[in-house]
């Protein structure tokens, strides 16, 4: 299938952006062929993740062109044939390994049954570490002097950490970019979470400036005193980054991480602190991983909140589930016993609800359930406990309410429910109620049995009425 004009334009943008990132990494080198990170890796993996092997030609051309561009900078004297061979080997290695990593990641994301950011983070970090390690090992052996190289260990580690830091830091931004280009490839659509807090005391720009000032001060002190120990203080800058993560959106966190990476690479190159570069490399990787997992915390909290809602509240009527109602009612009963307060329990259901379902369908039946639940909830006080026993039967626990007052509340609800009929053509909606006192010595379940018998009596007496025990 041929490329559309917009598709071709995006591939051109991909090519130009990859080369610009490569050139920027060269500008930020603290020594020839040595930078604390390699941002084009993140663009490669993201493009292959979204486009699959369709991105291979564009990325291969970028790798070959970067080899020629590198020759124009360092003037090593290689011939065109040597440059083509070298560029082709680099492209095969770079595109091949990261293409395989993207395919593994795409397949892994497709098999996540319970989607959350923590699952994505773990898979991404594993693919990131494995892919960058494989590229650095093969590249060191093939493109350099192999096992005979006197700097084999140093080259391998520098390549690995440089690629990994670039991938960790820049990938979130490129994912956001490709998500706009290719919305159908929505790998992260099911990740829904909000920041833990929304800070109003400091704007985002102030947090960024404070973080960059801390990085500037630390790098200058490490350069001025030529001290690796001082350079290690860069790890403490994870604190303002976590401040941003917990108080800003995930996109803002990703932007701050990318800016931190660019600033760090630029300062290391500017000060020429090559002997301490590895400290800043590891700090960048640690900060990126901390950012990912910290971003996962709000997601986990959001997931837990959803699970709590599902376990404690009925999805249709938003009333407490049966188990949640009785558990909470027991606590309220103990509280009432402590303060010598009265409790009343209302049990009610919808008259002829089965007939509504059978004649008009379950969709209409659900609408009636929601309308009745909304009326009942509106008649409750904030301190009252509203639950769904099952089907069309509901319960209301009234704290600090004697039986006589509970009967009045039930009667008010009965009258209010009668107005629901106006919402449905040809349906007369009414409810029958049973009310009982909650005797502290006997508990809520005993009161429920008594109120349920009163409800049955209301049904037998003709429905649409309130019954209570006569003591």
Residues tagged active-site: 392
In the chain, % helix, strand, coil (3-state, to 5) comes to 70, 5, 20
Residue 313 DSSP code: B
3-state secondary structure of 397: strand
Which residue in 264, 243, 276, 70 sits closest to 170, CA to CA?
A: 264
Contact 320, 388 (CB under 8 A): yes
Residue 320 DSSP code: B
3-state secondary structure of 228: helix
CA 140-100-135 angle, 5° bins = 10
Pairing label, strands 393-399, 385-390: antiparallel
Pairing label, strands 431-437, 343-350: antiparallel
3-state secondary structure of 468: coil
Pairing label, strands 393-399, 431-437: unpaired
CA distance linking residue 135 with residue 45, whole number of Å:
13
CA distance linking residue 258 with residue 111, whole number of Å:
29
């Amino acid at each position: 299938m041929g490329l559309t004009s917009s598709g071709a334009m995006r591939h051109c943008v991909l090519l130009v952006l990859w080369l610009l990132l490569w050139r920027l990494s060269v500008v930020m080198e603290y020594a020839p062929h040595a930078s604390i990170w390699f941002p084009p890796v993140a663009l490669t993996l993201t493009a292959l993740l979204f486009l699959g092997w369709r991105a291979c030609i564009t990325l291969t051309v970028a790798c070959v062109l970067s080899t020629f561009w590198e020759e124009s900078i360092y003037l090593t004297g290689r011939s065109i044939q040597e440059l083509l061979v070298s560029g082709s080997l680099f492209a095969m290695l770079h595109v091949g390994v990261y293409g395989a990593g993207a395919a593994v990641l795409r397949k892994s994301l497709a098999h996540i049954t319970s989607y959350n950011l923590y699952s994505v983070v773990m898979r991404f970090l594993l693919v990131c570490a494995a892919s960058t390690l494989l590229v650095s090992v093969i590249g060191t052996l093939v493109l350099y002097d192999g096992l005979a190289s006197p700097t084999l260990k140093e080259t391998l580690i520098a390549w690995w950490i440089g690629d990994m830091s670039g991938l960790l830091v820049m990938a979130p931004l490129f994912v956001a970019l490709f998500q706009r280009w290719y919305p159908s490839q929505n790998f992260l659509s099911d990740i829904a979470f909000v920041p833990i807090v929304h800070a109003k005391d400091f704007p985002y720009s102030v947090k960024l400036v404070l973080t960059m000032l801390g990085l500037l001060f630390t790098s200058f002190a490490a350069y001025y005193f030529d001290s690796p120990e001082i350079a290690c203080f860069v790890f403490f800058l994870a604190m303002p980054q976590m401040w941003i993560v917990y108080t800003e959106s995930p996109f803002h966190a990703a932007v701050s991480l990318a800016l931190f990476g660019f600033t760090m690479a630029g300062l290391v190159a500017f000060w020429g602190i090559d002997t301490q570069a590895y400290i800043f490399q590891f700090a960048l990787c640690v900060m990126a991983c901390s950012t990912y997992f910290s971003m996962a915390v709000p997601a986990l909290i959001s997931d837990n909140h959803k699970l709590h809602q599902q376990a404690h509240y009925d999805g249709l009527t938003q009333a407490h589930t049966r188990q949640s109602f009785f558990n909470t009612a027991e606590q309220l009963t103990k509280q009432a016993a402590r303060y010598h307060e009265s409790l009343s329990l209302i049990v009610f259901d919808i008259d002829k609800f089965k007939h509504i379902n059978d004649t008009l369908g379950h969709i209409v039946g659900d609408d009636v359930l929601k309308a009745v639940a909304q009326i009942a909830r509106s008649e409750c006080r904030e301190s009252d406990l509203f639950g769904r026993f099952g089907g069309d039967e509901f319960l209301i626990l009234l704290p600090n309410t004697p039986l006589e007052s509970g009967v009045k509340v039930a009667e008010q609800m009965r009258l209010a429910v009668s107005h629901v009929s106006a919402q449905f053509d040809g349906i007369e909606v009414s409810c029958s109620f049973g009310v009982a006192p909650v005797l502290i010595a006997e508990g809520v379940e005993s009161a429920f049995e008594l109120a349920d018998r009163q409800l049955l009596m209301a049904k037998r007496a003709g429905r649409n009425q309130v019954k209570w025990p006569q003591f």
